[in-house]
Amino acid sequence: MALTEVEIAPELQRILWACLSYWDTETQAPEERSVCYSWVVRPHLERFRETFHQSKLEELARLGFLEKTDTSRGGNRRYYRIPEADRVRGLLQEWNLN
C-alpha cells in the first residue's frame, strides 16, 4: 500500500472508509466480499455529505488499498475487494475515521 499518498489525501481516506463500511456489512466470507461504486457512494454521502467520482476507486486500487475483481456484464460496473481489511481498519483508526 502506498500510504503517503492516502495520508495526504483526506478525500481518499473518506472513500476508503466508505468501502470498509460497506465491506463490513456483507455476510459472505471476506474472500468472497466485494464493493462497487454504487454500493459505497451512499455511506459516503450519508457521513460526509458529498459524493465522489468512481475513478477514485481505481486510484485506491492503484495504490493497493483495493484490488480489482470482476466487471459486470457489459463492463459497466467494476468490483473491488479489500485485500488487507484489518490493516485498512487500523489506518482508519489512526486517521480518526472509525
For every one of its 98 residues, what pLDDT tens digit does the chain have, with 9 covering 90 and above? 767 767 779 999 999 999 999 999 999 999 899 999 999 999 999 999 999 999 999 999 999 999 999 766 556 789 999 999 999 999 999 999 98
Residue 82: give its domain's CATH number: 1.10.10.10
CB atoms closer than 10 angstroms to residue 79: 18
Provide the number of structural domains found in the chain. Answer: 1
Query: Quick check: 39 and 77 in contact, CB under 8 A?
Result: no
Residue-range definition of the domain harbouring residue 26: 3-94
pTM here is: 0.89
Determine the Cα–Cα distance for residues 93 and 98; give it in Å rounded to an integer.
Answer: 5
Report the pLDDT value the prediction gives residue 71, as an integer from 0 to 100. Answer: 65
